[in-house]
Amino acid sequence: MGQTIAEKIFARHFRDEPFPGVNILNIDRVFCHEILTPIAINDLIQRGRDGVFDREKVKAIIDHVTPSKDSKTATQAKTMRDWARRVGLKDFFDVGQNGVCHALFPEKGFIRPGQTVIMGDSHTCTYGAFGSFAAGVGTTDLEVGIMKGICSFRPPVTIRINLTGELRAGVYAKDVILYIIGAIGVNGATDRIIEFHGPVVNKMSMEARMTLCNMAVEAGATTGICEPDATTVDYLWPFIQAEYRDRNSALDDFSQWRADIDADYSETLNFDLSSLEPQVTYNYKPDCVKTVGEMAGTPIDQVYIGSCTNGRLEDLRIAAEVLKGHKIADTIRAILSPATPATFQAAIKDGLIDIFMEAGFCVTNPTCGACLGLSNGVLAEGEVCASTTNRNFNGRMGKGGMVHLMSPATAAATALQGSIADARTISAQP
Amino acid sequence: MSDHFGGPALFLDRSDINTDEIIPAKYLTEISKEALKPYCLEDLSLEGFDHQSEAMAQARVIVTRKNFGCGSSREHAPWVFEVNDIKVVIAESFARIFRQNMYNCGMMAIELAAPELDRLFELAEYGQVHIHIDVNRRQINAETHTKRLTFNFDITPFDMALVNAGGWINFVDTRY
Ligand code: SF4
């Protein structure tokens, strides 16, 4: 019997099975941010165990609220900063170098096919786009990861999702994943790993695959995984060129992390996406999804483009294409937070930031901020936000606020119209 | 470890209660568990629920439906229960990270099949339900003034070991 991607990664990283059904894995990457790590750091200090298992494998960032907005967030940031210096972390990202973790770490080339990655953050599943096993964990798992480089998981059970057909113009990875979550539900993949296959994924850029995997957890999945291929090699090439003779030999090596054809899946789901329409959420669960047509005209107060789901350069390009030469509606306030400094800088060079600002967007520094209702665009009671983020939970972007999730294109069109709108109806300006 | 988990039960008759509802993100800037105490379930959207009620203050066990604790990986969700002396959640199913966080803290996330859970919810119609978890016998004893029900539950040897050790860190220390 062949193996799934996760089964291959588990086998290679296996450390122990203390009880049947429990796998202790060696972890290649332990990522830390300032929201879930300080309590672990303080606990380690209290236990007299202030250190890390490997100063290169443990990496840290301040990203959720940055620069700090008040004394409490400043204390969290300081706890991270002091710790990173004290334990001698090789990679630590502070104000000026920081951005949203799941956008920044891939950009730095930190994630490779076949790796195990944990982070105290549920959207760690984003890194599955590289063919790694990457899962969000809580603070205690993180603390043990920092201390010992291990984590416990149940043996992997994988759902295979085949995405076939051809996406229409104006339909993106975000629409695909919203549609899948709508189809299988917020509980549809709990304790399962989703492997994404098929021509639609094969054609996707790494950015788009990250968007896809990012929201696997919204269907309850432990993680989402894409098979590494030539696109993966191209993306990582600047970081791996010293390790391989040429791209083909890298591809050969990465191919060991592809699923076997006779691998065993708990379920196989096929989605033909040829007639997929842009998707938008309603209500307070990410599986409450409708087509943009059904949601069109819903009044909006704020548009937010950013986050680990859709704050990358490709997302900014897509939104800017819709916005170019237009102005946002009078009733709208629109916010762009490029997810990383490199994205921000490239967007300036490419003239994208000009397009956003001329349209009337406020451009903020890279940070999570508004996505979890902490800074840079928190909603007031009763306000409605059209957002490229990944969660529409009650109160997520501010107490009493409503969030509609959508692609950057739909968010841009919505900013122009002042209510939810289909980007394909906006006329392109030269 | 105490083998006497239990006390007055709080019934939350809804599925998919997420971690933002259990402890809103704006409180994640606290760096002590105790500071979370007043905000338990502050953003829960459930008809008739008041997070500042007497029932909430007295609760030691939560009984709820499917996919409890979905959403973020914040361990603040189990912690806000812990500092409110709620060490057991009984549900039809849990989100992976929440469930793991509970046992990692030495607390219990107990799964009960839907029909049994229905009977437990029905019991609540007879008045305040007290629940006592007999960890060694794997039994949930639920009673009101007039009625008493007993349910058996399963717990994996690993989860049991975590409860006995008082959490994952202690377990790890004895083994790795
Ligand atoms: S952008 Fe939002 S979802 Fe992504 S890591 Fe930050 S807070 Fe979490």
Residue range A1-276 forms a domain whose CATH class is alpha beta
Q: How many CB pairs under 8 A join A and B?
A: 139
Identity of the residue in B25, B30, B96 whose CB atom sits nearest the CB atom of A374? B25
Task: Give me the DSSP letters along B70-127.
Answer: BS---THHHHHHHTTT--EEEES-B-HHHHHHHHHTT-EEEE--HHHHHHHHHHGGGS
For residue A427, what pLDDT is reported? 83
Structure confidence by residue, pLDDT tens digits, A122-164? 999 999 999 999 999 999 999 999 999 999 999 999 999 999 9
Q: How far is the CA of A368 from the centre of ligand 1 (A)?
A: 5
- Residue range A329-353: average pLDDT? 98
Q: Is the CB–ligand 1 distance for residue A368 below 6 Å?
A: yes
Nearest CA among B35, B156, B97 for reference residue A121:
B97
Q: What is the DSSP letter of A380?
A: P
Average the pLDDT over each of A56-65, A235-244, A299-308, B30-39 and give the range with the smallest value.
B30-39
Smallest CA separation from ligand 1 atom 1, residue: A307
For residue B17, what pLDDT is reported? 96
Contacts of B157 in chain A (CB under 8 A): 19-20
**Chain B residues touching chain A at CB-CB below 8 Å:** 15-16, 18, 20-21, 24-26, 28-33, 43, 45, 66-67, 70-75, 78, 93, 95-97, 100-101, 104-105, 156-158, 161, 167-169, 172, 175-176
For residue B1, what pLDDT is reported? 44
Q: How far is the CA of A403 from the centre of ligand 1 (A)?
A: 14
Rounded Cα distance between A353 and A349, Å, is: 8
CB contact under 8 A, A139 and B71: no
Q: Is the CB–ligand 1 distance for residue A102 below 6 Å?
A: yes
Identity of the residue in B66, B75, B157 whose CB atom sits nearest the CB atom of A138? B75
User: pLDDT grade, residue B32 (50/70/90)?
Assistant: confident
The atom of ligand 1 lying closest to the CA of A391 is 3
For residue A429, what pLDDT is reported? 76
Is a pLDDT exceeding 70 seen at residue B4? no
Helical ranges in A66-125 per DSSP H = 71-87, 101-107
- Who contacts A279 (Cβ-Cβ below 8 Å, separation ≥6)? A174, A175, A178, A179, A182, A289, A290, A291, A292, A406, A407
Q: Are A402 and A421 contacting, i.e. CB atoms less than 8 angstroms apart?
A: no
Structure confidence by residue, pLDDT tens digits, A190-200? 999 999 999 99
Is a pLDDT exceeding 70 seen at residue B2? no
Q: Is the CB–ligand 1 distance for residue A310 below 6 Å?
A: no
- Residue range B83-112: average pLDDT? 97
For residue B51, count CB atoms less than 10 angstroms from its CB and return exposed for 0-12, middle for 13-18, buried for 19 or more. middle
% chain A with pLDDT above 90 = 99
Q: Is the CB–ligand 1 distance for residue A389 below 6 Å?
A: yes
Measure A16 CA to nearest chain B CA, in Å. 10
Rounded Cα distance between A298 and A332, Å, is: 13
Whether this prediction's pTM lies above 0.90 is answered by yes
Is a pLDDT exceeding 50 seen at residue A342? yes
- The residues facing A133 across adjacent strands are A116
Structure confidence by residue, pLDDT tens digits, A276-320? 999 999 999 999 999 999 999 999 999 999 999 999 999 999 999
ipTM: 0.93
Structure confidence by residue, pLDDT tens digits, A36-50? 999 999 999 999 999
Question: Taking all residues of chain B, what is their mean pLDDT, rounded to a whole number?
Answer: 94
Q: If contacts are CB pairs under 8 Å, which of residues 300-319 in chain A contact chain B? A: none
A6: phi > 0 → left, psi -120 to 50 → alpha, else beta; which?
alpha
User: pLDDT grade, residue A428 (50/70/90)?
Assistant: confident
A134–chain B Cβ distance below 8 A for any pair? no
Is a pLDDT exceeding 60 seen at residue B100? yes
Domain count, chain B: 1
Residue range A280-425 forms a domain whose CATH class is alpha beta
For residue A191, what pLDDT is reported? 95
* Torsion of the alpha carbons at A356, A361, A366 and A367, rounded to the nearest 10: -150
Q: Are A339 and A312 contacting, i.e. CB atoms less than 8 angstroms apart?
A: yes
User: pLDDT grade, residue A1 (50/70/90)?
Assistant: confident
For residue B146, what pLDDT is reported? 92
Here the tokens at position A366 are: 């890279």
Contacts of B80 in chain A (CB under 8 A): none
Q: Is the CB–ligand 1 distance for residue A100 below 6 Å?
A: yes
Among A308, A309, A364, A375, name the best residue to mutate to test ligand 1's pocket (greatest count of ligand atoms within 8 A of Cβ).
Answer: A308
Measure A6 CA to nearest chain B CA, in Å. 17
Q: If contacts are CB pairs under 8 Å, which of residues 319-378 in chain A contact chain B? A: 372-374
Measure B122 CA to nearest chain A CA, in Å. 25
* Domain pair A1-276 / A280-425, same fold: yes
Structure confidence by residue, pLDDT tens digits, A65-106? 999 999 999 999 999 999 999 999 999 999 999 999 999 999
Smallest CA separation from ligand 1 atom 5, residue: A308
- Residue range B100-119: average pLDDT? 97
| Domain segments of chain A as ranges | 1-276, 280-425
- Residue range A234-254: average pLDDT? 98
Q: Is the CB–ligand 1 distance for residue A372 below 6 Å?
A: yes
Structure confidence by residue, pLDDT tens digits, A4-14? 999 999 999 99
Rounded Cα distance between B16 and B35, Å, is: 25
Contacts of A281 in chain B (CB under 8 A): none
Q: Closest-CA residue in chain A for B103?
A: A140
- Residue range B112-119: average pLDDT? 97
Structure confidence by residue, pLDDT tens digits, A165-222? 999 999 999 999 999 999 999 999 999 999 999 999 999 999 999 999 999 999 999 9
A283–chain B Cβ distance below 8 A for any pair? no
Give, in degrees to the nearest 5, the angle at Cα B20 between A69 and A368.
35
- The residues facing B134 across adjacent strands are B4, B139
Structure confidence by residue, pLDDT tens digits, B124-145? 999 999 999 999 999 999 999 9
Is a pLDDT exceeding 90 seen at residue B3? no
Is a pLDDT exceeding 80 seen at residue A430? no
Q: Are A415 and A385 contacting, i.e. CB atoms less than 8 angstroms apart?
A: no
Q: Domain containing B161: what range?
A: 4-173
- Residue range A268-273: average pLDDT? 98
Nearest CA among A283, A239, A181, A263 for reference residue A9:
A263
Nearest CA among A206, A207, A203 for reference residue A307:
A207
Contacts of B100 in chain A (CB under 8 A): 137-138, 141, 152
Rounded Cα distance between A95 and A68, Å, is: 9
